[in-house]
């Protein structure tokens, strides 16, 4: 069932930072990281994809959709994000999605993007958790948004939801967030480059019952 705009906006009030102030359900084990990488002058821990199940790796897959090329489609049940390409293909990313009570579905557009975004906990969150800082600078190793954030709007109204990186690679493939779509930091950087302002987004409960297995896909380096 598609949430109303009111449902989406109310859910978005607690969105940014909720997973940060709780004890992480999927701790950022050092084994999930290997070395460092540099992006726009910021050094960050690189994901150790050797420790990540290959189904969550970024890859090109066969994909049949009536959506226009360039559309982003999120399958929340199977934890995949697709960018529709030509010739019945798509780039598929593993993602983490909203946990029970924080799921949302519907259409939106990427109407704003930020490189190494600052994270500002909403006032309501800071009331409940006064120990939270007023903000966390972009590029900080404690910033839950990671290297990129893509802001989802509907009819010009901010839904409160985003595509962004994560401090917890182990949460990819799980219902773990407060509604945002989490990605490996490298994937968030890749998606950011592929999605111009105005990119159409559709978030669905499930669409991949017949998605190809990893053996039928091509990993994207």
Token output for 214? 């990893």
Residue with token string 């859910």: 11
Give catalytic residue positions.
164, 180
Token output for 33? 């990281």
What ranges in 69-133 are assigned the alpha helix state H? 123-128
The answer to whether 3 and 105 are in contact (CB under 8 A) is: yes
Sequence-distant (≥ 6) Cβ neighbours of residue 195 within 8 angstroms:
70, 72, 83, 110, 113, 150
Instruction: Report the phi/psi class of residue 74: left, alpha or beta, with left for phi > 0 and alpha for psi in -120 to 50.
Output: beta
Give all strands (DSSP E) within 69-197, no chain letters.
72-75, 80-84, 89-98, 106-115, 148-154, 157-164, 175-177, 181-183
Sequence-distant (≥ 6) Cβ neighbours of residue 60 within 8 angstroms:
85, 89, 90, 91, 92, 217, 218, 220
Radius of gyration of the chain (CA): 16
């Amino acid at each position: 069932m598609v949430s109303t705009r009111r449902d989406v906006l109310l859910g978005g009030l607690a969105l940014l930072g909720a997973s940060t102030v709780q004890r992480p359900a999927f701790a950022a084990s050092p084994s999930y990281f290997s070395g460092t990488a540099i992006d726009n002058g910021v050094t960050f821990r690189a994901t150790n994809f050797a420790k990540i199940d290959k189904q969550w790796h970024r890859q090109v897959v066969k994909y049949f959709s009536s959506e226009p090329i360039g559309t982003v489609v999120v399958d929340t049940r199977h934890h995949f994000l697709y960018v529709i390409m030509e010739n019945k293909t798509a780039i598929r990313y593993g993602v983490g999605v909203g946990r029970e009570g924080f799921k949302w579905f519907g259409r939106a557009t990427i109407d704003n993007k930020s490189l190494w975004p600052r994270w500002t906990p909403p006032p309501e969150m800071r009331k409940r958790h006064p120990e939270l800082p007023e903000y966390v600078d972009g590029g900080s190793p404690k910033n839950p948004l990671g290297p990129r954030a893509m802001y989802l709007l509907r009819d010009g109204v901010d839904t409160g939801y985003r595509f962004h990186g994560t401090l917890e690679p182990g949460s990819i493939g799980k219902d773990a967030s407060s509604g945002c779509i989490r990605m490996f930091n490298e994937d968030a950087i890749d998606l950011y480059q592929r999605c111009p302002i105005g990119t159409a987004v559709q978030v669905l409960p499930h669409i991949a019952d017949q998605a190809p297995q990893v053996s039928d896909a091509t990993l994207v380096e």
